[in-house]
Amino acid sequence: MEKVSKKISSANLIERDQKVVTPAIYRYTDVAFERGEGLFLYDFEGRKYYDFVAGIATMSVGHNHPRVVSAITDQAGKLLHAAAHVGYMQPYVEILEKLISLAPAPLNHGKGVLVNSGSEAVETAVKLARAVSGRSMVLAFMDSFHGRSMGALSLTASSSGYRRHLSPLLNGVEHVPYPYCFQCPFGHKNHTREDCCGQWKKFIQMTLDKLVHPDDLAAIVVEPILGEGGYVVPPDDFLQTLREVCDRTGAYLIADEVQTGMGRTGKWYAVEHWNVTPDIIALGKAIGGGLPLGAAIARSELMDAWWPAAHGSTFGGNPLACRAGLESIAIIEEENLLDNATKVGNFIQARFKAAQKDMPIIGDVRGKGLMIGVELLNRQGEPLKVDQVKHIIKDLGSNGVVMTKCGQSTLRIAPALTITETVADEGLNIILQVLKDTWTRL
């Protein structure tokens, strides 16, 4: 008998969702997505939305790119899964070859392992650093986000809400301030990264002098640009300083490029902006081309010192996810999307900066490539409250633009790397109008 498919409405889906899905999953918009195509999402009534966050920086070549869909279909016809512990899979090898070849030297001769998510990738990196160094302590940063599984959460420090009632977490993790100059942890008001006070350096040294003996330090884990914590670009000497601390103490530098990686900032890896090579890089989000995939890559000596069966993951490196990722990388290369990310990213920043002159709600515009944060202020010049920003994001959703926030008071702009100036401009018109309307109510 022929199956009759019942057409559902957005309201109907949301109602059903609320009956079965935990409220622990917060929704930034009230939009129900039926399908996506390129730079746009569509709800069940066929309404079109400008997607300014691309599945939280995962859909780098846009929604349902025909080449990605056909790579997944092709792979589905050959092999869905067999598991890396059981034998060898071609897409697993090929995506690691690719990710490694794109990495800065000497990681471009490194080795890696595939997992299922960004959190798992970060935990993999920390496990590797601890296992190989035989040391236990890890330094991470306030405002950072490394995931929500218990190990990754031990590093995450962007909101105590994520940790509420969950302690004790992993032992041996200490946090030091990230140079978030616009909301300087050392009390300076509205600084930029160019006039950073540099106190964070003293804090790291003090931590090593008084709290964590350098001989015990296994790793420093850092986001080259803060993601969830507010899309904060650090001062130019930040990563270099961390590299020096690691070289001096023998600790490993772990770059969490889960959000910044795969071209988001206009380079394959964000660390390239500062010519710093970490020992280990954690990857996730966009590397799966829209399917779940994470990776940790490291210098060969480190990976080779990890003993057989020390790590693993049943679904890690699933062939469909690897093929989707490989196809996305090929498209980014062929269509010069790194250059596009830089070009359109600069265009978006320039429009916000021009609007800022007459719009005091726009406090700071920052970012690299298509990872752009717009921090919002109230009439007293203080950062907007989280709930006010959430309200703005809901308004944007009702007006046809999908995005999320990051940090307390920052709009997170992370569209697909395929975005054009024309589409960006249309979306920006809506965003700026919503910000103007918000200002009158503040």
Residue nearest to ligand PLP (CB): 118
Asked if 319 is part of the footprint of ligand PLP (rule: CB under 6 A), the reply reads no
Residue selected from 60, 75, 119, 349 as contacting ligand PLP according to rule CB under 6 A = 119
Asked if 118 is part of the footprint of ligand PLP (rule: CB under 6 A), the reply reads yes
Q: Please, which residue, 258 or 401, has the CB nearer to ligand PLP?
A: 258
Asked if 279 is part of the footprint of ligand PLP (rule: CB under 6 A), the reply reads no
Query: Least distance from C-beta 145 to ligand PLP, angstroms?
Result: 5
Q: Please, which residue, 227 or 363, has the CB nearer to ligand PLP?
A: 227
Residue selected from 43, 123, 143, 223 as contacting ligand PLP according to rule CB under 6 A = 223
Q: Please, which residue, 61 or 153, has the CB nearer to ligand PLP?
A: 153
Residue selected from 55, 147, 224, 383 as contacting ligand PLP according to rule CB under 6 A = 147
Asked if 289 is part of the footprint of ligand PLP (rule: CB under 6 A), the reply reads no
Asked if 227 is part of the footprint of ligand PLP (rule: CB under 6 A), the reply reads yes
Closest CA to 321 of 284, 363, 354, 360: 284
Query: Least distance from C-beta 258 to ligand PLP, angstroms?
Result: 3
Asked if 256 is part of the footprint of ligand PLP (rule: CB under 6 A), the reply reads yes
Stretch that binds ligand PLP, among 141-149, 267-275, 349-357, 358-366 (CB under 6 A): 141-149
Asked if 228 is part of the footprint of ligand PLP (rule: CB under 6 A), the reply reads yes
Asked if 395 is part of the footprint of ligand PLP (rule: CB under 6 A), the reply reads no
Asked if 146 is part of the footprint of ligand PLP (rule: CB under 6 A), the reply reads yes
Asked if 117 is part of the footprint of ligand PLP (rule: CB under 6 A), the reply reads yes
Binding-residue total with ligand PLP (CB under 6 A)? 14
Asked if 102 is part of the footprint of ligand PLP (rule: CB under 6 A), the reply reads no
Please say whether the dihedral angle defined by the alpha carbons of residues 44, 40, 360 and 378, taken in this order, is positive or negative.
positive
Residue 216 region, left (φ>0) first, then alpha (ψ -120 to 50), else beta?
Answer: alpha
Query: Least distance from C-beta 55 to ligand PLP, angstroms?
Result: 11
Query: Least distance from C-beta 259 to ligand PLP, angstroms?
Result: 4
Residue selected from 49, 145, 268, 269 as contacting ligand PLP according to rule CB under 6 A = 145
Q: Please, which residue, 312 or 381, has the CB nearer to ligand PLP?
A: 312
Order the strands of the 404-406 sheet from edge to edge.
362-368, 371-376, 410-413, 404-406
Query: Least distance from C-beta 254 to ligand PLP, angstroms?
Result: 11
Residue selected from 259, 328, 404, 408 as contacting ligand PLP according to rule CB under 6 A = 259
Query: Least distance from C-beta 135 to ligand PLP, angstroms?
Result: 22
Asked if 51 is part of the footprint of ligand PLP (rule: CB under 6 A), the reply reads no
Cα 424 to Cα 419: distance, rounded to the nearest angstrom: 7
Cα 336 to Cα 340: distance, rounded to the nearest angstrom: 7
Applying CB under 6 A, the residues found at the interface with ligand PLP are 117-119, 122, 145-147, 223, 227-228, 256, 258-259, 284
